[in-house]
């Protein structure tokens, strides 16, 4: 009876059996390329029309592991090719240094306690946008096996359950139109709800726990990020989103508050003019150099201006296409270095609509041309690999919008992205 090897076991056997002399594999590849000789059976099966990529894959497998790509090389390449982030419309991005986020051992960051503990905070806020079902996001993420996954990643779990929020009523105070020319729908309900989120996230961060916030719509991040900034003031925010979320009641075309959390945190609107948000005047403001965007592809005109005026580092899908997600994440993480060169604590605010609707269809504001399945994971892995991630929002999963397999697929992806950010690795 023949023995079956798992792919990993087979690969390691292949490695131990075949020990080519240094440079032999490269020499073999060179020879193959120069002569065009067919050196294995796979190549014999190729048709003459096989494209270049297929031809390359017919190179003999010699057991030599692929050379490991390091971010220092990428930085050197950008320098060599005269890469200038300002010219590329990336705001104030500065690309330098040799930060290596590919280390295999990820340590617990100094601002988290050991043993590492994750506080799971359900924030089923849905009044920042118009669609029913966003409030089921936290439950469906849990149903995908979130806790088991985190336990397997050696986290201790401190599950705070789901917060409860009031519903808007006819008597809620609204914006005074003589003071603010604009709309912030349900601001009283959203503001009160965000205060609850803020308090609970602050409690977790103060206890040196990893704060994992399950949305809910993206308005909730004004509550969670402001709490993180209160506990860990230098935190850098990686905002993964199709949208800028930089609106204010004055600039917002829709008046939906899930498009305003960064506008609020940057202090672009006086919170005392927003009923429900009076408490926000006492929370730390976010500095533009503490934010980096990844995955943008749908900005309002006002948001585009804010990104440019405040020199916010922003990597749109155009930059993902041009540089590849590996380089984009290197640059994004680099951009969040403090002036003294040290790394900030990181908060990952992951809007599932950053991912392409073919992969994550069950969300409120779909825009085509987003991160593909692997790119979406890479973003989370790269941030997790820094060893500096201390909190995360996963928002805008709405199981009602595409019920059935599509909503399951979206929620499962959200859960997997959390796992990736919190330590899951392929190998």
Catalytic residues, by residue number, are 218, 241, 243, 245, 258, 351, 353, 396
Q: Is 218 one of the binding residues for Mn ion (CB under 5 A)? A: yes
| Shortest separation between residue 113's beta carbon and Mn ion, angstroms | 30
Whether residue 224 contacts residue 237, with contact meaning beta carbons closer than 8 Å, is answered with: no
Q: Is 241 one of the binding residues for Mn ion (CB under 5 A)? A: yes
Binding mask of the shown chain, residues 352 to 391, with x at each position contacting Mn ion by CB under 5 A: ----------------------------------------
Which residues, other chains included, contact 389 with Cβ-Cβ below 8 Å and sequence gap of 6+? 109, 210, 346, 347, 348, 383, 421, 422
Structure tokens at 120: 């799971």
Of residues 209 and 393, the one with the C-beta less far from Mn ion? 393
Instruction: State the number of binding residues for Mn ion (CB under 5 A).
Output: 4
Q: Is 209 one of the binding residues for Mn ion (CB under 5 A)? A: no
Whether residue 91 contacts residue 308, with contact meaning beta carbons closer than 8 Å, is answered with: yes
> Is the sign of the CA dihedral 33, 37, 40, 44 positive or negative?
positive
Of residues 74 and 294, the one with the C-beta less far from Mn ion? 294
Rg (the chain; Cα; Å): 24
Specify the DSSP class assigned to residue 165.
-
| Shortest separation between residue 241's beta carbon and Mn ion, angstroms | 4
| Shortest separation between residue 398's beta carbon and Mn ion, angstroms | 12
Contact positions with Mn ion (CB under 5 A) in 299-358: 351
Of residues 85 and 249, the one with the C-beta less far from Mn ion? 249
The DSSP line for 386-414 is TT-EEEEEEE---TTTSTTHHHHHHHHHH
Contact positions with Mn ion (CB under 5 A) in 242-261: 245
Of residues 116 and 198, the one with the C-beta less far from Mn ion? 198
Of residues 74 and 222, the one with the C-beta less far from Mn ion? 222
Which residues, other chains included, contact 356 with Cβ-Cβ below 8 Å and sequence gap of 6+? 368, 369, 370, 371, 372
| Shortest separation between residue 240's beta carbon and Mn ion, angstroms | 9
Specify the DSSP class assigned to residue 341.
S
Which residues contact Mn ion (rule: CB under 5 A)?
A: 218, 241, 245, 351
């Amino acid at each position: 009876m023949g023995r079956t090897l798992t792919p990993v076991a087979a690969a390691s056997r292949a490695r131990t059996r075949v020990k080519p002399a240094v440079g032999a594999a490269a020499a073999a590849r060179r020879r193959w390329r120069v002569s065009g000789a067919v050196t294995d059976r796979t190549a014999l099966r190729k048709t003459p029309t096989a494209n270049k990529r297929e031809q390359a894959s017919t190179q003999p497998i010699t057991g030599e592991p692929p050379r490991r790509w390091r971010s220092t090389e990428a930085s050197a390449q950008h320098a060599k090719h005269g890469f200038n982030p300002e010219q590329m419309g990336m705001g104030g991005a500065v690309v330098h240094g040799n930060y290596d986020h590919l280390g295999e051992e990820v340590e617990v960051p100094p601002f988290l306690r050991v043993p590492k503990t994750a506080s799971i905070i359900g924030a089923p806020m849905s009044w920042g946008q118009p669609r029913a079902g966003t409030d089921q996001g936290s439950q469906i993420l849990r149903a995908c096996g979130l806790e088991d996954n985190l336990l397997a990643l050696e986290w201790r779990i401190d599950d705070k359950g789901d917060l409860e929020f009031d519903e808007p009523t006819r008597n809620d105070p609204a914006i005074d139109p003589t003071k603010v020319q604009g709309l912030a729908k349900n601001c009283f309900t959203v503001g009160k709800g965000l205060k609850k989120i803020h308090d609970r996230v602050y409690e977790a961060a103060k206890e040196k726990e990893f704060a994992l916030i399950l949305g809910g719509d993206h308005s909730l991040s004004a509550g969670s990020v402001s709490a993180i900034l209160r506990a860990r003031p230098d935190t850098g925010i990686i905002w993964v989103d199709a949208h800028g979320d930089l609106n204010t009641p004055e600039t917002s075309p829709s008046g939906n508050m899930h498009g305003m959390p960064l506008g609020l945190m940057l202090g672009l609107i006086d919170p005392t003019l927003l009923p429900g948000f009076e408490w926000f005047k006492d929370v730390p403001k976010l500095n533009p150099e503490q934010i980096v965007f990844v995955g943008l592809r749908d900005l309002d005109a006002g948001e585009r201006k804010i990104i440019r005026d405040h020199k916010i580092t922003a990597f749109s899908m155009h930059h993902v296409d041009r540089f590849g997600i590996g380089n984009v994440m290197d640059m994004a993480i680099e951009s969040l270095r403090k002036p003294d060169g040290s790394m900030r604590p990181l908060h990952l605010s992951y809007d599932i609509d950053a991912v392409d609707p073919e992969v994550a269809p069950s969300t409120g504001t779909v825009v085509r041309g987003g991160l593909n399945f692997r790119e979406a994971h890479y973003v989370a892995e790269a941030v997790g690999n820094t060893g500096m991630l201390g909190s995360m929002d996963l928002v805008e999963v709405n199981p009602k919008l595409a019920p059935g397999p599509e909503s399951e697929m979206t929620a499962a992806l959200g859960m997997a992205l959390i796992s990736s950010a919190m330590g899951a690795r392929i190998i």
